[in-house]
Structure 1
Amino acid sequence: MSTPDVLAPASLGPVALRNRTVKAATFEGRTPHGQVTQELIDYHLAVAEGGIGLTTVAYLAVAPEGRTHREQVVVGPDTEGGLARMAEAVKATGAAIAGQVGHAGPVANGRSNGVHALAASRMPSPLSMQMVRSATEADLTRVTGAYVATARTLVRAGFDVLELHMAHSYLISSFLAPGLNRRKDRWGGPLEHRARLARQVARAVREEVGDAVAVTAKVSLSDGFKGGVTLRESIQLLRLLEEDGTLDAVQLSGGSSLMNPMYLFRGDVPADEFAASMPLPVRWGMRTPVGRSFLKEYPFEEAYFRPKALEVREAVSLPLMLLGGINRLETMQQAMSDGFDFVAMGRAVLREPDLVNRLTAGQAAAGVCIHCNRCMPTIYSGTRCPVRDALPV
C-alpha cells in the first residue's frame, strides 16, 4: 500500500477530515464559570482557521465530580447551547471538532468541585488534601450512564468525534493501573477485570451514537510510575478494545497527571512557574524536595513516544494517532510511513496556530516551538504560549 499524505483528506470512521492532523486536547483555561465562552471558541477557531484537520475540546466532564476543578464544563442542558455554537463556528472553517469526554477520577480536586473525587480504590488526594473515595457499583453504573448522556448531548450539539479519556490516571485509567486499583471485586485483579470499565464505557457510548460520529480513545502507552499501566498492559487493553469493535481510532499518549506529568510533556521543567500557579498548600508542597521530585525531567526529542507506539502498531490493526513532540513535516511523513493514521499536536499549534497552513503552503518545514513547557502553568489562567506572547507585535 502507498504511504498516505499527511496533508491530504482522510476518513476517521464516518467523519471526513481535510487532512490527518489533530489538535490534541489540552485544557484551555477559558471556562471560568463552567460555560463555553467566546474566548474558548476563538481559541479553537485559531487552529481551525490555521488548517488543522480536527481540533479537540479538552476536559468535557460527564459529571460534576468528574471535573479536575470547578472551572470546567460539565456537559448537559446548561452547556449544550454554548457547545453547539462552538461546533458550528469551527466546522464553518472546514475543520472537524472533537470533544474529549472524561471523568477525572482521582485527578479531580474534590475541594474545588465541592464533592469528593472518585477512584478505583480509596487514596489521599494531594490536590484537595481529602481522601478520594473508592467508586461503588452504583457510582460506576451512574458514571457509565453519564458518558452516554454526554455523548448524546455532544452529537446533538454537532460534534464530529468523541474522544474517551482512558489515560493520565483519570477515572478509567485509575482502574487500569494496578498500583491505583487494589480492588478484590470484579473490577480489580487481572487486566481483563481492570479493563472492564473502559470496555463498558466504550460499548455504551458506541451503542448510543452508532455511526453518527466517530468514537476514539486516548490511551497511555505507559504511565511512567511504579504501579502504572505498562506498555504490555496497554497492548492487552487495545487488543480487547479492538476485539469489541467500539472505536474508530486510538490516540497514544502517556504519563499521569497525578503521578508523573512530565512523562507526557518532556523537555524543560518550569517548576517555579508551575508552583506559583497552584493553590497555596500545593504551592508550599511543590517547593519542598519531595514536591520538586514530582516534576521529573525527561530530555525532549522529536516524536518521543514513537518507539513504544511502533510496538503497538505491530500488535493491533486499529487506526492510531501518534502524539508526543511532533513539530516537523518530516516527522509527520515518517509517521505515515510507519503505519500511523493521524498525527496529534499540542504545543506546536499552541505556539503557531497556523502551522498546518504554513506546512501545506510550503512556507515552513517545521514548527518553531522550543518545548520550554512554560505553557503548562498557564492552563489555570488561559492556556497560552509565553514565548509567543513576548514577541513584538
Structure 2
Amino acid sequence: MTSPALFEPARLGPLTLRNRFIKAATFEGMTRGAQVGDELIEFHRRHAAGGVALTTVAYCAVAPEGRTERHQLWMRPDALPGLRRLTDAVHAEGAAVSAQIGHAGPVADGRSNGLPALGPSRSFSAQALRMVRGASQDDIERITRAHAEAALLAIDAGFDAVEIHLGHNYFASSFLSPRINRRGDAYGGSLANRAKVARDAARAVREAVGDRIAVLAKLNMDDGVPGGLWLDESLQVAQWLQADGSVDALELTAGSSLLNPMYLFRGEAPLEEFAAAMRNPVVRLGVRAVGKRFLRAYPYQEAYLLDSARQFRAALDLPLVLLGGISRRTTAERAMAEGFQFVAMARALLREPDLVARMEKDGDTRSLCIHCNKCMPTIFSGTHCVLATDRAAS
C-alpha cells in the first residue's frame, strides 16, 4: 500500500514543502575558518537536487564558545554572504533549507575554541582534556538571546526554517539531563527547572521570528545512559513545548554525543577509524584503549526509534518528524500511516543524495547504506560516505 501524502506538498508552519522528506542535520565538517565555502554549498545543493523537501545545515552555533571545534560555523553578520549563497543554491533546486541553531555546551571543545566550554555544572571533558565551566545566570541569559539573534540572522540569510538543537546533551539537553545537571538553583532539580533553558530558547526564537519562518526543535526522547533523561520526562518537555506554541514541529532523536553517541546511530562502531582521525596523539591512544566504553555498538534495524516515537505521537497534536533508520520508501509510508508528518534521513542520503527522487519513481528502491558508520569519523575531513564510488556524489 502506498501513501499518497508522501510525495505531495505538506505544510510545516508557514512553509509549504514539496514532499515529506527532510535531510537531517549531519555535521558536514566543511566550514574552514567558520565560514561557508563552495564545498558546503555543493553538499546541500546535491541533496536539494536529489529530491528532499528540506535540507538542514548543521551545525550553526549561536556563540563562538558553543562550537564543537573552532572551524565550526557560528551565526554572525560576516557569515551572511556565504550563507546567502548556500540558500540561493538550494532554492534554485526547488527545495527549502533550514539552519540548525544551538550551543554545544559541554560537548564543545574549549581547547580548540580557545574559550571555556559551558555546561550546567562543572565537569571534566575527556574529549577536550579540559574542564567544562558551570554556566552562570548571565551565560544562560546571553545564550538564550543568542538563539533569537541567530534565528534573525537565518532570516537575513534566506533560510526557510530553523531547527533548535535540544538534543544529544548539547547545552539545552545537558540541562535536561538529571545525570549531568547537578545545579541547586532555579535551573536544577525538578524537571520544570531543568527544562527552563530549552523552553526559554524556543520561546525567544518564536518571539523573534514570529511566523516568518518555520521553527522546529530536535528533542531527545532519551539520552541512552543510566540516570539521563528518559521518555517520561522528555514527553512532558514535549508537551510543554507544544503548550508554549514555540515550535511548529519536533524532530525526535536520542543519545548523547557526550556519553553514548552510538545510541542514536545504531550499527557498527567504527572505533579504529575514529582513532585514526584524532589529531591529538593522547586522544588517539585513549580512543584505542577505552573507546569501546564510549562507542558501544547497537544492532541496526529499520525505523529503530519508532517504538519510542509512537508514545510521543499518541500524546501530542504537534507535527512530528520521525528519524532513525529510514532507508526504504515503505518505511516512510509506514510513518505517514502512523501519523508522523515528516521523515528525516541522514546516512542513507550521504550514500545516495538522489535517493528520494529514485524512491518517488520506484517504490521498491531502498538505500545502499550498510550502516557501517564509517562516515562518522569523516566529519574531521568533510563528511561523506566512504563507500561511495564518487566522493562528489556523497
Same topology, TM > 0.5? yes
Q: Displacement, 1:50? A: 0.4
Alignment match, 1:145: 145
d(CA) in 2 for partners of 1:3 and 1:246?
30
d(CA) in 1 for partners of 2:363 and 2:171?
42
CA contact (8 A) 1:61 1:75 kept: yes
Alignment match, 2:30: 30
Amino acid at match of 1:285: G
d(CA) in 1 for partners of 2:364 and 2:115?
48
Q: 2:79 matched to 1:62?
A: no
CA contact (8 A) 1:358 1:364 kept: no
- Superposed, which structure 2 residues align to 1:89-128 within 5 Å? 89-128=89-128
Q: Displacement, 1:287? A: 1.1
**Secondary structure of 1:198's aligned partner:** helix
Q: 2:280 matched to 1:291?
A: no
Deviations 1:144-163 (A, max 9, x none): 11111111110011100100
CA contact (8 A) 2:330 2:363 kept: no
Deviations 1:32-90 (A, max 9, x none): 11100000000001110000010000010000000000011111111011111101110
CA contact (8 A) 1:4 1:336 kept: no
- Across the aligned residues of Structure 1 and Structure 2, the Cα RMSD in angstroms comes to 1.4
Q: 2:152 matched to 1:166?
A: no
Deviations 1:107-127 (A, max 9, x none): 000000000100011100012
d(CA) in 1 for partners of 2:332 and 2:35?
34
Deviations 1:118-143 (A, max 9, x none): 00111000121111000000001111
Q: Displacement, 1:359? A: 0.8
Amino acid at match of 1:39: E
d(CA) in 2 for partners of 1:18 and 1:354?
15
Count of residue pairs brought into register by the alignment: 390
Alignment match, 2:326: 326
d(CA) in 1 for partners of 2:239 and 2:94?
33
CA contact (8 A) 2:147 2:205 kept: yes
- Superposed, which structure 2 residues align to 1:1-393 within 5 Å? 5-278=5-278, 279-288=280-289, 290-362=290-362, 364-389=364-389
Deviations 1:356-383 (A, max 9, x none): 1101112752111111111010010000
TM-score (norm 1): 0.97
Moved more, 105-114 or 125-134: 125-134
CA contact (8 A) 2:160 2:213 kept: yes
Amino acid at match of 1:338: E
**Secondary structure of 1:388's aligned partner:** coil
**Secondary structure of 2:219's aligned partner:** strand
d(CA) in 2 for partners of 1:270 and 1:317?
38
d(CA) in 1 for partners of 2:140 and 2:95?
34
Q: Displacement, 1:389? A: 3.4
**Secondary structure of 2:32's aligned partner:** coil
CA contact (8 A) 1:249 1:318 kept: yes
Amino acid at match of 1:82: G
Runs of 4+ in 1 over 4 A off after TM superposition: none
Instruction: Provide closer, same or farther for how the CA distance between residues 168 and 100 of structure 1 changes in structure 2, counting only shifts above 3 A.
Output: same
Amino acid at match of 1:280: P
CA contact (8 A) 1:45 1:89 kept: yes
Amino acid at match of 1:49: A
**Secondary structure of 1:386's aligned partner:** coil
Amino acid at match of 2:78: D
d(CA) in 2 for partners of 1:87 and 1:323?
23
d(CA) in 1 for partners of 2:275 and 2:97?
33
d(CA) in 2 for partners of 1:73 and 1:46?
20
d(CA) in 2 for partners of 1:390 and 1:53?
24
d(CA) in 1 for partners of 2:7 and 2:156?
29
Amino acid at match of 2:231: L
d(CA) in 1 for partners of 2:384 and 2:364?
22
**Secondary structure of 1:389's aligned partner:** coil
d(CA) in 2 for partners of 1:200 and 1:20?
29
CA contact (8 A) 2:176 2:195 kept: yes
d(CA) in 2 for partners of 1:243 and 1:153?
26
**Secondary structure of 2:164's aligned partner:** strand
Structure 2 runs not aligned, ≥5 long:
none
Q: Displacement, 1:227? A: 2.1
